A and B are shown apart, each in its own frame.
Chain A
């Protein structure tokens, strides 16, 4: 069975790596595979997302709006129809 195609939303700050595409897609069954697949198509993107094999401190990744750090991080599984959102960490309000 082939890996599902996952839609990934790219934040402004990383769009120079995706030829300014807001949304890209790649085939993967988990987040680690997804990052590797994205890096293959968009050279340098993987390095902006990962540091020493882990998500960078100021990068947040969400699968269907849920933070992957509480779903196994790079081991978080992906299935058909999932959407992934990447955002830089910003201070909340209040």
Chain B
């Protein structure tokens, strides 16, 4: 179906795209190892976070936390804020985003376009600082509705109810699911659903590894593990740096024509590593991975150009 009552209603049911050229070659007679990309940029505001945002707002409305005209508060490095900003605009809420100062300029522009207010948190400490500042603001302003994607079960549930089932319906032979680790909502929700359908499935986390500034915490106790995170859902977890992520995101563009955001490069890097292991072991695999968003919001970094270098991302929160 391609007709919807509203923009919001068009959420999800994103395409799962085969990657015939990037999938590794196997010797004749050996089982196929295939890569599949779920294009989450085809959501209403262009990222997987529309699922999280709509689910959290629906839940807060249902439970009575969110009343007409209320102000929503959220720590975000961009995409969740952008999703919330669009929905808040349409449904008549105000939105305040706490965002690290070291994110791409497009994120600020898009947030402001939909009327969100931005409070910047210090670059050092990255999203940890955004979470800390948002928690402080929430305590000082009890009338603001703090949705808090890192600890809100509606985030995980959104992926359990939509992302997971969509992938399984399109690819019942799935052997590996690879996604980015941020709030952990995608991996926890879709991963749990997929494992219920296939107990042998591997759930693979690709965690972006930033430049040093993002790890510049005041002390170790300022570290952060999202409340939603349950390590038992995950089979393996990889840390992927900016250099590998940029190399892969360009490969995806050049070989398959898919224009993705930088965090997708980290996910693809992990997916290709798994694919190689399967080829070496002579086992067949259907590896589905998430394309979180398209590259538009990251053009200002210059990484897509011929001479684009991952070094420009050194101080940035690029995922």
Report which A residues bind B (CB closer than 8 A): 11-13, 48, 56-60, 62, 65-67, 69-70, 85, 87-94
Among B10-18, B73-81, B168-176, B188-196, the stretch that binds chain A is B73-81
Q: A residues within 8 A CB of B241?
A: 65
Nearest 6 pairs of A and B residues by beta carbon: A58-B223, A92-B182, A91-B127, A93-B77, A67-B237, A93-B319
* Nearest residue, chain B, Cβ from A60: B239
The answer to whether A65 touches B238 (Cβ under 8 A) is yes
Question: Could you pull out 9 A-B pairs where Cβ atoms are within 8 angstroms?
Answer: A58-B224, A90-B127, A90-B214, A91-B182, A92-B181, A92-B182, A93-B126, A93-B182, A93-B317
The answer to whether B238 touches A67 (Cβ under 8 A) is yes
Q: B residues within 8 A CB of A62?
A: 238-239
Shortest Cβ gap from B56 to chain A (Å): 13
Given contacts A58-B225, A67-B238, contact A91 B292 (CB under 8 A): no
The answer to whether A91 touches B226 (Cβ under 8 A) is yes
Most chain B C-beta atoms within 10 Å of own C-beta, residue among A13, A69, A88: A88
Q: Mark B120-131, 1 if CB is under 8 A from A, else 0.
A: 000001111011
The answer to whether A94 touches B183 (Cβ under 8 A) is yes
The answer to whether A94 touches B77 (Cβ under 8 A) is yes
CA of A37 to CA of B225, assembled, Å = 28
B49 within 8 A of partner (CB) = yes
